[in-house]
Amino acid sequence: MSNIKRQISKWLNVGQETLNEIELEDIEFAEFAKQNINNAVAQMLSVDNHINLPSIENTNHTNQIPCKGFWVENTKDLVLYVLNGNQSKAIIVPKNGWMIRDSITIN
């Protein structure tokens, strides 16, 4: 995971300490952000026609591709790092495209 954080830090030119991991089930997305995320994931999966498109709202979907979320401390932007086989993509969601759900579970 630190390798992913290091990569994102380099891509965004921010310190690793400003990247905070967040669980996807704790996030609520604006409609425009959901559409953008689903479009980006669909592009990654376009080669694999047999894979069902994962829903960003259903993080426990059995066919979902791995995704890590980080929010950037300074800007409050969200970075989703999506991995599918040998493909990876960082999707940036602006601060107005996401918020923490009201009903999060604190462990």
Residue 20 makes CB contacts below 8 A (sequence gap 6+) with: 70, 71, 72, 73
46 or 91, greater pLDDT: 91
pLDDT at 86: 82
Q: Rounded CA gap, 26 and 53, in Å?
A: 21
| Band (66; pLDDT cuts 50, 70, 90) | confident
**Is 33 exposed, middle or buried (CB count within 10 Å of its CB: 0-12, 13-18, 19+)?**
buried
Domain ranges of the chain: 2-100
Q: Rounded CA gap, 54 and 39, in Å?
A: 11
Q: Rounded CA gap, 5 and 42, in Å?
A: 24
pLDDT greater than 80 at residue 52: no
Q: Give the whole-number percent of the chain exceeding pLDDT 90.
A: 51
| Band (59; pLDDT cuts 50, 70, 90) | very low
pLDDT at 104: 62
pTM over 0.85: no
Computed over every residue of the chain, the mean pLDDT equals 82
pLDDT greater than 90 at residue 87: no
